[in-house]
Structure 1
């Protein structure tokens, strides 16, 4: 009788584990990063300077929320929004080799209602970071928009994962991308970041 009871208990526990009813199993959830089907429910991306609900499946808050990066991608394009607690410029740089060196940097700001976005490249460890065009490359930001509101600046942009430009990092779906970020209170992107700077890593979705 005792052996039959143990057998029944073992069967019940096995069923619970397989069905996901045990608490430990419930803690292993599927996210948009690992479940591409979730991406089909996203709303249409628009470069309008507004981060709308369900526009981006991924969000990373850094520096206590002073800088937030949102992103999504398909097999060809990267769509991104930068939100920084500043009325100056916000920036993100992809895949630096050392500090700022070799980083593929996007700067953006809003001045007198006009949105400016610069496709730049850091040639030195701590700059300078001229626009790609000044280095013989191309401006590969396909669409962009921005908005300045409540002491925050939001910049949205779209670019190809692989632009073919030597001064842009070639990105691929599922890649873990290291990045640096910075904020300044100036609308001149040649001015040093004087609010905050840091680094992080994001993961692109599968195609």
Structure 2
């Protein structure tokens, strides 16, 4: 009888322990919540801060819908949009090795109608993430635009799959790309994310 009680107690403790592992804080979310399949035909991509119905092949909803990542690609270029439920900055970091370290990062925000999009690289586990140019690299954002409206910030940008810059990740068609993301309610990109953060994966066509 005593042994049976101990076994039941052990099982109960195990259930409680594993239940704790499945929860996430308000800042960290599960990687993916929804993916939209590629439509048969895509429209023209424009860097204008407006996400048209057929402008992107895929979309991924993160952080309970607080951030949506849109993307498409061809043989040479990656086209992407970030739509965040914030009036501050939104950011994505490609292929980190540990936490933020070695992430190829894009930060963007809109302030007083002026759009800023930065090509950055995280040199440490928790930053800093200076511009590529400060490290001897290059700014490889070829086109960008943004819009802030009704509590949302949209950033669109275009870059080569392989920029040739050592501080940018080189991508190929069909690749699965791991990424981290973050958002803040301020337009100062040196401030810590305080709206949402997490990780996910996307697959190139």
* TM-score clears 0.5: yes
Instruction: Provide the secondary structure at the position in 2 that maps to 1:64.
Output: helix
Instruction: Provide the secondary structure at the position in 1 that maps to 2:181.
Output: strand
Which residues in structure 2 correspond to 1:1-207 (within 5 Å)?
31-32=37-38, 38=40, 41-205=41-205
**5+ residue gaps, structure 2:** 1-36
Please state how far the C-alpha of 1:157 moved relative to its aligned partner. Answer: 0.2
What is the alpha-carbon distance in structure 2 between the residues aligned to residue 173 and residue 74 of structure 1?
A: 8
Please state how far the C-alpha of 1:186 moved relative to its aligned partner. Answer: 1.1
Instruction: Provide the secondary structure at the position in 1 that maps to 2:64.
Output: helix
Please state how far the C-alpha of 1:126 moved relative to its aligned partner. Answer: 0.5
Please state how far the C-alpha of 1:195 moved relative to its aligned partner. Answer: 1.1
List structure 1 segments (4+ residues) > 3 angstroms apart after TM superposition. none
TM-score (norm 1): 0.80
What is the alpha-carbon distance in structure 2 between the residues aligned to residue 67 and residue 198 of structure 1?
A: 10
Instruction: Provide the secondary structure at the position in 2 that maps to 1:199.
Output: strand
**5+ residue gaps, structure 1:** 1-30
Please state how far the C-alpha of 1:194 moved relative to its aligned partner. Answer: 1.1
Query: Number of paired residues?
Result: 169
Please state how far the C-alpha of 1:135 moved relative to its aligned partner. Answer: 0.5
Please state how far the C-alpha of 1:84 moved relative to its aligned partner. Answer: 0.4
Q: Deviations over 1:138-160 (max 9, x none)?
A: 00000000000010000000000
What is the alpha-carbon distance in structure 1 between the residues aligned to residue 164 and residue 190 of structure 2?
A: 25
Alignment RMSD: 0.9
Q: Deviations over 1:162-206 (max 9, x none)?
A: 00000000011000000000000111111111111000000000x
TM-score (norm 2): 0.81
Please state how far the C-alpha of 1:44 moved relative to its aligned partner. Answer: 0.3
User: If you compute each CA radius of gyration, which structure gives the higher value, 1 or 2?
Assistant: 1
What is the alpha-carbon distance in structure 1 between the residues aligned to residue 75 and residue 57 of structure 2?
A: 15
What is the alpha-carbon distance in structure 1 between the residues aligned to residue 129 and residue 68 of structure 2?
A: 22
Instruction: Provide the secondary structure at the position in 2 that maps to 1:145.
Output: strand
